[in-house]
Amino acid sequence: MQAAANSDSLVRICDGIDRLVSMDLPRRGVIDLIFRAAREQAAMPLSLRAARLLQAGLAPGRVALIATGWLDRPHVSLDIAESDGPPGAAVLARALHVAFGAVPFVFVEDRIVAPTIAVVQAAGLRCVEPEQILAARGGSGALHAASVIALPSDRAKAEAMASDILGRFDIGAFVAVEKGGENRRGRIRTSRGADTTDALSKADALLDACRSRGIPSVGIGDGGNEIGMGLVHEQLAGRLRNSLGPDGTSDDGVIPSGRTDALVAATVSNWGAYGVATALAVLLENPDVLHSVEMEEAILRASAAAGFIDGVTGFVAPSVDGLPLGVHLAMVRLLRTFVGEGVNTVAWNKYPG
């Protein structure tokens, strides 16, 4: 791949990554507003800011906390969750492990631990218990592992778990991928404004614990109601659909209050995670950090086989947010061009124009 040591080149590449993952293909009419606010706040490419924070926090053996999972039809069953989030978390878990030797802990609701394990393992990581994953690092044989952990929906219990995790393990970073965040009234709302507080695990407890210790944090979202969007709360309030709550203020609207150190806004949250993985691959000059098109297909098929639904169509299928499998495969194929795959750099370097 082309060397990315030149900072101007790195900024151009990561700007391209950002533009690609934020194209409004489903014509939802939301991402342009969120992306502009996030880009203005960051004053640099979103994927690059996230990648640099993760690089600063992680090292071999350090734990990356990754929160994901959205119970999409809680009025029907707490077993039903959407396919946007877990695939992105799995890809990022793999990327952080390959890039830094980090140990990924993925946090989801208790009812979707087993389906999430299937998705993470499709990304090549063997899921074991937290203590086992650390023991695996010292064994004689290689084991690329992750742990999927049930995070409570009760706030006090989630806080207790966060305190325990941060007390027992060496935490290097926190990332939320398509994870509902609490607004200023402590409620978690869907993008349509529905109150889904009781159903979702309280990942804000992990974020709060990490921020109080100066641990780098990244939020990845697509609708304005995910953890991390508090970073652009004022810019979105009154402009984003359902940003004003029943009381007429943004305090009880869809925008969370929690602020991460970096925010990545994308058309599909999975794509935002893929964009960060791509930026890491470019930054570290290691194409293997970004997963392959073949692995993307395996992950989305595993997601469907595990019962995750497309949150837009309601079907169990290897699609995400109403976009079919082929679109997601094409996205990964295009992202891989940023790490030099399929690009004739020799010819371009000779091009006289």
Alpha-carbon distance of 317 to 350, in angstroms, equals 45
- pLDDT on residue 3: 46
Please state the domain extents for the chain. Answer: 7-343
Which residues are 145's β-sheet partners? 126
Q: Which run of H or E residues covers position 108?
A: strand 103-108
Q: What are phi and psi of 35, to 5 degrees?
A: -65, -45
Q: What are phi and psi of 349, to 5 degrees?
A: -65, -25
Show Cβ contacts of residue 235 under 8 Å, excluding neighbours closer than 6 positions.
Answer: 37, 40, 41
Q: Which run of H or E residues covers position 103?
A: strand 103-108
The predicted-structure confidence for 90-142, as pLDDT tens digits, reads as follows 999 999 999 999 999 999 999 999 999 999 999 999 999 998 987 777 666 68
Alpha-carbon distance of 230 to 243, in angstroms, equals 12
Q: Which of 48-57, 138-147, 151-160 has the lowest mean pLDDT?
A: 138-147
In which residue are the tokens 């989630």 written?
158
> Which DSSP string do the residues of 155-201 spell out, in sequence order?
HHHHHHHHHHHHHHS-EEEEEEES-B---TTS--B-TT--B-TTTS-
Is the CB of residue 263 less than 8 Å from the CB of residue 22? Answer: no
If we measure between CA atoms, which residue out of 280, 282, 268, 279 comes closest to residue 328?
268
Helices 46-57 + 7-21 axis angle, to 10:
110
Helix (H, G, I), strand (E, B) or coil at 64: strand
The residue that leads in pLDDT, 206 or 349, is: 206
Alpha-carbon distance of 134 to 336, in angstroms, equals 31
Alpha-carbon distance of 140 to 121, in angstroms, equals 21
Alpha-carbon distance of 286 to 91, in angstroms, equals 15
347 — pLDDT class (breaks 50, 70, 90): low
Residue 176: both structure tokens together: 């939320």
Work out the average pLDDT over 45-70.
98
Mean pLDDT of the chain: 94
∠84-88-92 over CA atoms, to 5°? 165
Alpha-carbon distance of 176 to 85, in angstroms, equals 9
The predicted-structure confidence for 24-41, as pLDDT tens digits, reads as follows 999 999 999 999 999 999
Q: Which run of H or E residues covers position 107?
A: strand 103-108
CATH class of 7-343: alpha beta
The predicted-structure confidence for 296-324, as pLDDT tens digits, reads as follows 999 999 999 999 999 999 999 999 999 99
In which residue are the tokens 């679109």 written?
327
Residue 58: both structure tokens together: 């992680």
Q: Which amino acid is at 64?
A: A
Q: What are phi and psi of 65, to 5 degrees?
A: -90, 125
Query: Parallel, antiparallel, or unpaired: how do β-strands 145-150 and 103-108 relate?
Result: parallel
Work out the average pLDDT over 177-182.
98
